[in-house]
């Protein structure tokens, strides 16, 4: 019995999650999305994409701190 793991590119993962490939790359680099390296390609398993879809990843926009804000308002 063989099992098949479906792997997606950053752009495919972004399309499923409704974000850009750049956002996927940023989340992978931050360690919030796990990826696998196959040769020169970096891919994301379909199960990881669905984990992120259900649990979320990254910092919500409402909680982001902008560098231009004074320190007292942070």
For 40, what's the count of Cα atoms within 13 Å in the CB-facing half-sphere? 0
- Full set of structural domains in the chain with CATH: 7-59 (1.10.1660)
Model confidence pLDDT, tens digit, residues 24-38: 999 999 999 999 999
Q: Are 53 and 17 in contact (CB under 8 A)?
A: yes
Record the pTM.
Answer: 0.70
Model confidence pLDDT, tens digit, residues 12-71: 999 999 899 999 999 999 999 999 999 999 999 999 999 988 887 765 655 555 566 555
């Amino acid at each position: 019995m063989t099992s098949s793991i479906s792997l997606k590119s950053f752009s495919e993962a972004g399309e499923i999650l409704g974000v850009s490939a750049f956002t996927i790359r940023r989340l992978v680099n931050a360690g919030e999305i796990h990826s696998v390296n196959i040769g020169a390609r970096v891919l994301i398993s379909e199960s990881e994409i669905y984990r992120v879809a259900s649990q979320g990843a990254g910092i919500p926009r409402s909680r982001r701190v902008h560098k231009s804000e004074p320190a007292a308002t942070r």
